[in-house]
Structure 1
Amino acid sequence: MMKNSIVLGALFLMLASCSLSKEIREQRDTINGTWILQDVSFEQEGDFKAKLFNDADAFCFEGSSWYFFENNSTGSYTINGNSGACPTGTRNIRWSVQEDPSGANRLQFKYIDEKKNDLYGRTGYGMDIVSLSSGSMTLKSNVNANGEMVSVIYSFNKQ
C-alpha cells in the first residue's frame, strides 16, 4: 500500500512538471533570482494614486527588492520605504507563471507566511509579462486608481 502511494505520488509530480510548456519553464528560469523594481508608472496620462497588491501606494514599490526562487516557487519582496509613508519590510510570496487564455503569460503571486502557508485564502495578484530578458523584466497590471481602471507598468532590473 505504501509503495503504491509513493509510485502514484512520483507519477503525479512527473506529470505536473511536464504540464508546463517549454516557454513557461524558460520564463520561470529567467525570473529566478533577485530583481529591483526600478520604476512604477501609469500607462495613461494623469496623476494617479493607487494601492498595489492590497499593500502600499505605487511609489512605495520603487526601489523594492523582489526575490524569486524557482525550485519551490516561493520568494519575497521588500519595501525599503520612500518618504517614511511606506510600510517597510519583507512580504513572503508563492509565485508562478501561467499562460493566460489570451495567449499572454502572466506572473502571479499570493502572500504566504514563514511556514509557506497561504494567507488570505485564494486571493492573489497577476501581472502580464510584457518583456523578459536575463537582465530586465517589464510587467503590466490593471488597477483601480482614483476610481478608474488604469494600467501600471513595472520595470525591473536583475541583480
Structure 2
Amino acid sequence: MIKKPLFLLALMGILISSCTVSKSARTQQNLFSGTWNLDDVYYENASGNFKSVIFNDAEDICFEDSEWFFRDNNSTGRYTIGQSSLCQGGDRFFRWSVVEPSENYQSQLQFKFIDENRKDISGGYGYRLNIVNLTEQNMTLKSNVTADGQPVTIVYKFSKK
C-alpha cells in the first residue's frame, strides 16, 4: 500500500525537475517580463532598401513602435500593432520561452501564435530570435533570413516601458 504513494511521489519529482529551466534561462525570462516598445527594425549584412513581411503577419514598418508584453509566470504575451493604411492593427497573442544556448547558437526567444483562449493557432509552427542584448531597459533581438539567395539579418531594438 505504501509503495504506490511513494512511486507517485517519485514520478512527480521527476516530472517537476524535467520541466524546470536553468538559472540563466529563468533570469532571462524575468528580464523579458513586462511591456516593451519595438523602437526600430532594420537590416544588417545587406545593401539597398527592403520591404518584408515579418512573422507572416505584417510589413516591417508596421512593427515599428509596436508594443510587446511578456508575462513570465505563464509564458504568454502579445504584441499590438497600430492601425494605419498600411497596417492591420490589433493584438497578436503568443506563447513564449527562452531557449538556452548550445554550441550552435546563443540564447533565443521562441514563440508561437495562440488565440485569446491560449489555444495554438499556428499548427505548432513558431519563430526563434537570437537574444543579442537583454537588460532591464533595453533588448536587441536578431533573426537570420535569406533575401535573393543572400543571408540578411533583421535586427529588432526594444526599450522597456
Q: What is the TM-score of this pair, normalised by structure 2?
A: 0.87
| Aligned equivalent of 1:67 | 69
Q: How many residues align?
A: 156
| Aligned equivalent of 2:157 | 155
Deviation at 1:127, TM superposition (A): 0.5
| Aligned equivalent of 1:137 | 139
1:62-91 Cα distance to aligned partner (Å, 9 max, x none): 00000000000001000013x421110000
2:127 to 119, 125, 128: 125
1:101-149 Cα distance to aligned partner (Å, 9 max, x none): 3240000110001111111211101100010100000000023446654
- Taking the TM superposition and a 5 Å limit, the aligned residue runs for 1:14-53 are 14-17=17-20, 20-43=21-44, 44-53=46-55
Distance in 2 between residues matched to 1:4 and 1:46, nearest whole Å: 65
1:5-45 Cα distance to aligned partner (Å, 9 max, x none): 9744465134312xx22111110000000000000001122
Structure 1 residues without counterparts, runs of 5 or longer: none
Q: What is the TM-score of this pair, normalised by structure 1?
A: 0.88
Range with bigger deviation, 129-138 or 113-122:
113-122
| Aligned equivalent of 2:86 | 85
| Aligned equivalent of 2:16 | 13
Distance in 2 between residues matched to 1:135 and 1:6, nearest whole Å: 44
Cα pair 1:49 1:146 within 8 Å, conserved = no
**CA RMSD, Structure 1 to Structure 2 (Å):** 2.2
Range with bigger deviation, 34-43 or 114-123:
114-123
Q: Report % sequence identity.
A: 45
Q: 1:15 to 1:67 in 2, by over 3 A?
A: same
Distance in 1 between residues matched to 2:25 and 2:88, nearest whole Å: 33
Structure 2 residues without counterparts, runs of 5 or longer: none
| Aligned equivalent of 1:95 | 96
